[in-house]
Amino acid sequence: MADWVDVAPYADFPPGAVRSVNVEGAQVAVFNLDGTCYAIEDICTHDGGILTGGTVEGDEVVCPRHGARFCIRTGRVRAPPAYEDVEVFAVRVEGGIVQVRDTRWDESGF
């Protein structure tokens, strides 16, 4: 089972904030949307660009390289040139700290 990784104190992570953190080798973008934290893979599925440098419009992040759009809440692609969704990661606030965890391998037995 994967471990929880600290991102930031929730008090220092206001609505509109975004941070990138490495979670067991995966680069993860953590967003605070209106007080709720979400985490998606920080790599555009179109060409491998980093998403945290893009703008946030509503619940979407716009890739700064070619304009692909991804839903921050679900990881679903919403506009080309990307056609594949990004991975979504578990997020919680524990002891006042925003934490994220990669749960992709939890059920596989690896």
Tens digits of per-residue pLDDT, 1-22? 579 999 999 999 999 999 999 9
Say if residues 68 and 82 touch (Cβ distance below 8 Å): yes
CATH fold of the domain at 5-101: Rieske Iron-sulfur Protein (2.102.10)
Q: What is the pLDDT of residue 107?
A: 64
How far is it, in rounded angstroms, from Cα 56 to Cα 10?
A: 19
Say if residues 13 and 74 touch (Cβ distance below 8 Å): no
Instruction: For the chain, give the percent of residues with pLDDT over 90.
Output: 88
Give 3-state DSSP helix, strand, coil % of the chain, rounded to 5. 5, 45, 55
Q: Diameter of the chain by CA atoms?
A: 40
Quote the pTM value. 0.91
21: Cβ contacts below 8 Å, ≥ 6 apart: 5, 7, 27, 28, 30, 100
Tens digits of per-residue pLDDT, 34-46? 999 999 999 999 9
Residues in the chain: 110
